[in-house]
Amino acid sequence: MLAVIASMLFVVAGAWEAQCRSLVYRLHINDEIGSSTWQHTRRALEEATARNADIFLLHLNTYGGEVGAADSMRTALLHAQMPVVAFVDNNAASAGALIALACDSVFMRPDASMGAATVVSGADGTAMPDKYQSYMRAIMRATAESHGKVPGPDSTMVWRRNPLIAEAMVDTRVTVPGLIDSTRVLTLTADEAVRWHYAEGKAETIDDVLASLGITDYDIATFRPSWVDWLMGFLTNPAVQGMLIMVIVAGIYFELQSPGMGFPSMAAIIAALLYFMPMYLTGIVDSWVVIVFFAGAVLLCLEVFVIPGFGVAGITGIAAMIAAVIAGLLENFALPSGGEIDLGVIWRAMLTFCCALALAVGAIALLMSKYGSRLVGRRTELTHQQRVADGYIGVDTAPSRLVGREGVAATALRPSGKVEVDGEHYDAVALGGFIEAGSRVRITKFENAQLYVRGD
């Protein structure tokens, strides 16, 4: 009996201890910021929320990447349902600085750095025009301001993270007295980040980070993306989505020009599946978006194959398909689990769609032009010309060599019949009157694929 009670107490104590332990959910980002890292962040936040994690730990080491993906990540982190802690190990440059700034707390390795968030061209690394920098300055400033104010040394309220420092990471014209002048883009060392309250402290390991937060009893769960996650990240890249939209639009256009299940329709169907499948399987879009798209496709098919002319069904189908495509872009750029859609998300979605539409129009114009046949016509059309100058002829001209030869009328020529020359029979026409069978004949000319003969 005592053994049973002791066992029960041991189980209860173990369950109580497990309940008291903190769950730290870790996402390691050590790659270029892009659609894949955004999808991994989305997935990790969803799993952390489902497991009731106490801390979301972002293990960060990146030189930056796409501003759009970084903006989606920072918005998701700002709206996370649990405290978010960044461990900069060793770099949080450019877009990485924006992501680190979105976290509730930041810890950096002693030799780490954070900053240099100027928007640059992906082609040659040169700084983009000021309108891009202005947007990035606003994002950085808004992210810094989102952490609110705290009492200052003289009891006045000051920003917890000075927005001016965030702007100085983007623009060389911004100065911060005592930190940087107007000739350089700001990059903070670990000591500078702690001194200017952009980091809560320095740490060598994750254990040091958690110890600084007062967490000593914890379990760490790490998000581990599969190849499917990487594939989904690739297919949800705005550039890839734009290309898929281009194929959908161009495929539908060419299918309307020549109705029937051909290559254009198959290309459009495959592109639509690659566009919607990743977002549906990962829960980014609801099923109604996919249903609306394919309902529009059915209406368009009815208009093409069943209903004469082009009217309400075709227009409604095209409108439904466009609405579904744009809705998919909006959901892809929005927060995890169907979060809010702000003006920035709408702008990115419409910009992606318009760029894809422009590419589709350009591709259609190119393929419909005289250059289109040169690009694809050799494989899809019969473009070879059989010219006489190249030796191509429409009839057999071999009998022309018989002109001047003699033969025998194999049949009566009244006026047409057959003649025999060297044991071969040929069709012939008699000139100057009928010729009886067995008579000697002379071939006088070959004209319009026909031999003409005269009797001897």
Where residue 25 falls among pLDDT bands split at 50, 70, 90? very high
Q: Which of 167-176, 180-189, 221-230 has the lowest mean pLDDT?
A: 221-230
Question: Phi and psi for 433 in degrees, rounded to 5?
Answer: 120, 170
Where residue 191 falls among pLDDT bands split at 50, 70, 90? very high
Helix (H, G, I), strand (E, B) or coil at 279: helix
pLDDT at 6 over 70: no
Question: Phi and psi for 225 in degrees, rounded to 5?
Answer: -70, 140
The larger pLDDT score, comparing residue 381 to residue 236, is at 236
| Interior angle at CA 352, CA 254 and CA 292, nearest 5 | 65
pLDDT, residue 236, reads 76
Identify whether the C-beta of residue 71 lies closer than 8 Å to the C-beta of residue 344.
yes
pLDDT at 17 over 50: no
pLDDT, residue 385, reads 64
C-alpha 8/C-alpha 19 separation (Å) is 16
Q: What is the pTM of this model?
A: 0.64
| Interior angle at CA 44, CA 72 and CA 33, nearest 5 | 45
C-alpha 139/C-alpha 133 separation (Å) is 10
pLDDT at 1 over 60: no
- In tens, the pLDDT along 384-439 reads 566 666 666 666 777 888 888 889 999 988 888 999 988 889 889 998 888 888 88
Q: Which residue has the tokens 């198959």?
A: 266
Query: What average pLDDT score do residues 97-119 get?
Result: 94
Give percent of the chain above pLDDT 90.
30
pLDDT, residue 383, reads 54
The larger pLDDT score, comparing residue 369 to residue 3, is at 369
Mean pLDDT computed over every residue of the chain: 82
pLDDT, residue 2, reads 46
- Neighbour-count burial for 144-171, b at 16+ CB within 10 Å, e otherwise: bebbeeeeeeeeeeebebbbbbbbbbbb
C-alpha 345/C-alpha 322 separation (Å) is 17
Question: Phi and psi for 323 in degrees, rounded to 5?
Answer: -60, -40
pLDDT at 28 over 90: yes
The larger pLDDT score, comparing residue 113 to residue 395, is at 113
pLDDT at 292 over 70: yes
Identify whether the C-beta of residue 198 lies closer than 8 Å to the C-beta of residue 106.
yes
Q: Mind giving me the DSSP string for 22-85?
A: EEEEEEEE-S-BSHHHHHHHHHHHHHHHHTT-SEEEEEEEE--B-HHHHHHHHHHHHT-SS-EE
pLDDT at 213 over 90: yes
The β-bridge partners of 29 are 60
pLDDT at 52 over 90: yes
The larger pLDDT score, comparing residue 40 to residue 255, is at 40
C-alpha 136/C-alpha 146 separation (Å) is 15
pLDDT, residue 294, reads 85
pLDDT, residue 397, reads 76
Question: Phi and psi for 431 in degrees, rounded to 5?
Answer: -110, 135
pLDDT, residue 209, reads 94
pLDDT, residue 16, reads 42
What's the burial of 227, exposed, middle or buried (CB within 10 Å: 0-12/13-18/19+)?
exposed
pLDDT, residue 14, reads 45
Where residue 9 falls among pLDDT bands split at 50, 70, 90? very low
Q: Which residue has the tokens 């060793």?
A: 90
pLDDT, residue 394, reads 65
pLDDT at 336 over 50: yes
Question: Phi and psi for 163 in degrees, rounded to 5?
Answer: -60, -25
- In tens, the pLDDT along 114-128 reads 999 888 876 667 888
Residue 185: closest CA among 197, 198, 167 = 167
pLDDT at 22 over 70: yes
Query: What average pLDDT score do residues 10-16 get?
Result: 43
Query: What average pLDDT score do residues 225-247 get?
Result: 80
pLDDT, residue 249, reads 84
Q: Which of 133-147, 251-265, 304-318, 332-346 has the lowest mean pLDDT?
A: 332-346
Q: Kindly report whether the peptide bond that precedes residue 151 is cis, defined as omega within 30 degrees of 0.
A: no
pLDDT, residue 373, reads 58
C-alpha 340/C-alpha 78 separation (Å) is 12
Where residue 18 falls among pLDDT bands split at 50, 70, 90? very low
The larger pLDDT score, comparing residue 61 to residue 346, is at 61
- In tens, the pLDDT along 338-396 reads 555 566 667 777 888 888 888 888 877 877 776 665 555 545 455 556 666 666 666 67
